[in-house]
Chain A
Amino acid sequence: MTFTLAIVIAGIVMVALNAYVLLAGADFGGGVWDFFARGDRQQAQRDLISHALAPIWEANHVWLILVIVLLFTCFPAAFSTIAIMLHIPLTLMLLGIVLRGSAFIFRSYGSEHDAAQQRWGRVFAIASIVTPVLLGMCVGAVATGAIGGTALSPSGSFASQFIRPWLTPFGVGVGLLALALFSFLAAVYLTVESEGTELQEDFRTRALWAAGAVFVIAFGVLALSWTEAPMVREMLMAGPWALPLHIVTGIAAVTAIVALWTRRFRLARVAAAAQVTFILWGWAAAQYPYLLPPTLTIQSAAAPDRTLVLILWALAAGACILLPSLYYLFRVFKLQRRS
């Protein structure tokens, strides 16, 4: 593998997507646990989730915008194909994003615990469940090769061109996997956020259940990939890096579960984030060198070099502002918690 400019930038897009999944993914997961808030401490659970999300969710959300902007600037051919073929699930996902964000802020700033606030809480929770599934379905559709491989023609039916490519059992499987992963991340993070309170046990139980769900769904998706995403499955089973990848993912998953079991929550947080990261990069590696298999490679979709060079400079300059600012944000709200 030679590191051309396009591949370096594709790597950066993956890093941004990775950050989105680990940070904003957990925010969606928070909404899932808001939906499943149960028992005597249900209000306390919701308050903790809301408190954990409030200062950071908007910054976390911007990672998605960065991914989109990099995609249309650096890989315009891929972006336009995705935008055409996945118009419907992306539009539905946007509705979810709008409703989730608005409902969260409406709930936070509504008057105290009244009926309207509860309704907004419901909207927030349901949108938090639906949006990750749609995001996962879009990823799944790309992995099957249906997005890169379907040629539009005026004679083709609407369903065969704009619905069937993404509405597949495999796509739904990946959507559910995304939902399970996000819920898992959120529950694990919340065990750390709830340190010293009885809520910690609530989220520990939830994290363990979510880990189980991830395990079951992941195997289901793998089974479905046999027929539906053969190229990706082949690479995942037989690629040169396949075995090491499965080993590190497995180690991370087991570590996360053992750490949760033995109540070492900070270790569990690191392990859970690592597990999700490995799964994401496993998908990227399985698709390499394709951006949209089976036709569009990273190289063939790339913008002219001059654009890529300038974007690299812009990213470097942007990172100099972004990374210290992000560090500051998380230091103020996440590290100084107990002070």
Chain B
Amino acid sequence: MRDILAARSQMGMSLAFHIIFAVVGIGMPALMVIAEYRWRRTGDAGYLELAKRWARGTAILFAVGAVSGTVLSFELGLLWPEFMKQAGPVIGMPFSLEGFAFFTEAIFLGVYLYGWDRISPRAHVIAGIMVAASGALSGIFVVIANAWMNTPRGFTLVDGKFTNVDPIAAMMTPAAFPQTLHMTLAAYAATGFAVAGIHAMMLLRNPRNAFHRRALSVALLVGAPAALIQPLAGDVEARYVARQQPAKLAAMEGLFQTMRGAPLSVGGLPDESARRTRYAIEIPHGLSLLAFHELDAEVKGLDAFPRDQWPPVAIVHLAFDVMVGLGTFMALVSAAVLLMLWRRREIISLRWLMIAIVACAPMGFLCIEAGWMVTEIGRQPWIIYGILRTADAVTPMPGLIVPFLTFTALYCFLGIIVVLLLYQQVLRSPREDETFPQQAEPA
């Protein structure tokens, strides 16, 4: 394996691993604090049990997220020293702000997890809200830094060097708003549906279980609205990509020829050497309509770019279709859930809807992984779009396959442990004889 490929694989694998924990760090605190709030309002001890279990889950996932995030902050330099040397002063600002948001999250998570009987109820709920808010904020700052890589602004390039650096302009890039909106909604949709799906599965077996019923209601409260409006955020994002990164859009859609009234290709297999996408279902004018909201708008195909500036087409197109397909399914399920609630139907008694919710459990995370593949692989061959090539940013250190394989093995192992622990600590139905524990602290 060539070093550049090993470096990209390690970065991709580290991001793919970390993003799960980062997303959960945004979504779970919201669930846990809603559950606690309901307990404080109603005195219903079932919600207290939920809040405590979700807090335990959050603690486990946050810890793994914190350390895997640390790895990433080092890897930016360990793998891409030239990129950091150039970009550090330009995009350090959102990273610094993220540092403080992450600090706040870690501090108040400590207060929340271990402070059940040390601080007032009100202070405890506020600590939970601080965790949820700073979690969302730290995600937003990191995505702002990524947005800069897609639409670099805030500097003048003189002989390959960045001058006139303006870190504020570098934060206000065209990609910043669409990307942060899309990602924040994704975090709530994915976490909400993952939790809802798991508890829905338990309820299909045992519909009377009050613990899982409460869990389902809180999880859907967070997940369904986010998943429902996500397609709109996706539209905002697609239209920015069409204008700012036309090569990425062409790869996403498997569009090889520039044309007016471009069709939307659903599925199919792009063939780079033959320069066409086979076996796709084509919706006439669909792409022009979606990308520019005009039936006959011109959409640039890959033929508008030199061959050495194409991203890998097939993987980007397929990842995009996976994201859109699963995301659409989640939005439809959300619409059904909200419609049934509006009509005052009991969701738990609707078996088809419960099965659909179970099916959604992994989908949000699959969408996020696929979506980041579109963003990151679709930006290739650039690490800073149009400015610096990924191949020119990689470390001169040879043998990069070794750290890649090491971290892959470690993360696979940690992933298995986390799943086992979560099952033990969070999902297992409380036994009949189990009283709600008063201590939040582990032994």
Q: Is A59 within 8 A of B77, CB to CB?
A: no
Q: Is A311 within 8 A of B92, CB to CB?
A: yes
Q: Is B107 within 8 A of A326, CB to CB?
A: yes
| Separation of A77 and B99 alpha carbons in the complex (Å) | 21
| Separation of A195 and B331 alpha carbons in the complex (Å) | 57
Q: Is A76 within 8 A of B63, CB to CB?
A: no
Q: Is B95 within 8 A of A69, CB to CB?
A: yes
| Separation of A59 and B104 alpha carbons in the complex (Å) | 8
Closest A residue by C-beta to B398: A158
Interface string of A78-115 (1 = CB under 8 A from B): 01111110010011001101111110111011111100
Q: Which A residues are in CB contact (< 8 Å) with B118?
A: 332-333, 336
Q: Which A residues are in CB contact (< 8 Å) with B82?
A: 80
In the complex, which range does the number of interface residues on chain B fall in? Answer: 35 or more
Q: Which A residues are in CB contact (< 8 Å) with B81?
A: 79-81, 83-84
Partner of B113, one of A55, A76, A83, A110: A55
Contact (A73, B92) CB under 8 Å given A79-B84, A91-B403, A105-B63: yes
Q: Which B residues are in CB contact (< 8 Å) with A237?
A: none
Q: Which A residues are in CB contact (< 8 Å) with B86?
A: 76
Contact (A73, B395) CB under 8 Å given A91-B403, A325-B103: no
Most chain A beta-carbon contacts within 10 A, residue among B71, B74, B93, B108: B74
Q: Is B104 within 8 A of A108, CB to CB?
A: no
B27-73 contacts to A, CB under 8 A, are 56, 59-60, 62-64, 66-71, 73
In angstroms, how far is the closest chain B Cβ from the Cβ of A216?
32
Q: Which A residues are in CB contact (< 8 Å) with B403?
A: 87, 91
Q: Is A65 within 8 A of B70, CB to CB?
A: yes
Interface 9-mer from A28-36, A259-267, A278-286, A315-323 = A315-323
Most chain B beta-carbon contacts within 10 A, residue among A99, A109, A111, A322: A109
A89-144 contacts to B, CB under 8 A, are 90-91, 94-95, 97-102, 104-106, 108-113
| Separation of A287 and B414 alpha carbons in the complex (Å) | 40
Q: Is A69 within 8 A of B92, CB to CB?
A: yes
Interface string of A290-321 (1 = CB under 8 A from B): 00000000000001101100110011011001
Most chain A beta-carbon contacts within 10 A, residue among B56, B59, B110: B110
Q: Which A residues are in CB contact (< 8 Å) with B98?
A: 69
Partner of B66, one of A61, A81, A326: A61
Q: Is B64 within 8 A of A87, CB to CB?
A: no
Q: Is A69 within 8 A of B66, CB to CB?
A: no
Closest B residue by C-beta to A153: B396
Interface string of B178-212 (1 = CB under 8 A from A): 00000000000000000000000000000000000
Q: Is B70 within 8 A of A84, CB to CB?
A: no
Q: Is A109 within 8 A of B425, CB to CB?
A: yes
Closest B residue by C-beta to A56: B110
- A329 close to chain B: CB less than 8 A: yes
Q: Is A332 within 8 A of B93, CB to CB?
A: no
| Separation of A54 and B106 alpha carbons in the complex (Å) | 12
In angstroms, how far is the closest chain A Cβ from the Cβ of B78?
5
- A62 close to chain B: CB less than 8 A: yes
In the complex, which range does the number of interface residues on chain A fall in? Answer: 35 or more
| Separation of A321 and B133 alpha carbons in the complex (Å) | 13
Q: Is B63 within 8 A of A102, CB to CB?
A: yes
A-B contact count (CB 8 A): 212
Q: Which B residues are in CB contact (< 8 Å) with A76?
A: 84-89
Contact (A79, B110) CB under 8 Å given A87-B395, A112-B443, A322-B103: no
- A64 close to chain B: CB less than 8 A: yes
Most chain B beta-carbon contacts within 10 A, residue among A59, A74, A112: A59
Closest A residue by C-beta to B102: A62
| Separation of A108 and B424 alpha carbons in the complex (Å) | 13
| Separation of A109 and B417 alpha carbons in the complex (Å) | 11
- A66 close to chain B: CB less than 8 A: yes
- A70 close to chain B: CB less than 8 A: yes
- B397 close to chain A: CB less than 8 A: yes
- A241 close to chain B: CB less than 8 A: no
Q: Is B88 within 8 A of A110, CB to CB?
A: no
In angstroms, how far is the closest chain A Cβ from the Cβ of B203?
25
Q: Is A90 within 8 A of B78, CB to CB?
A: yes
Most chain B beta-carbon contacts within 10 A, residue among A56, A65, A90, A329: A65
Q: Which A residues are in CB contact (< 8 Å) with B64?
A: 101-102, 105
- B168 close to chain A: CB less than 8 A: yes
Q: Which A residues are in CB contact (< 8 Å) with B74?
A: 68, 83, 90, 94
Q: Is B93 within 8 A of A73, CB to CB?
A: yes
Q: Is A109 within 8 A of B89, CB to CB?
A: no
- A328 close to chain B: CB less than 8 A: yes
- B13 close to chain A: CB less than 8 A: no
19 further interface pairs, Cβ-Cβ under 8 Å (given A66-B103, A98-B67, A307-B165): A55-B115, A56-B110, A69-B98, A70-B92, A72-B95, A73-B88, A73-B92, A76-B85, A76-B86, A94-B74, A97-B71, A99-B410, A102-B414, A108-B59, A307-B89, A317-B100, A325-B108, A332-B111, A333-B114
Chain A residues proximal to chain B, CB less than 8 Å: 54-56, 58-59, 61-62, 64-66, 68-70, 72-74, 76-77, 79-84, 87, 90-91, 94-95, 97-102, 104-106, 108-113, 152, 158, 162, 303-304, 306-307, 310-311, 314-315, 317-318, 321-322, 325-326, 328-329, 332-333, 336
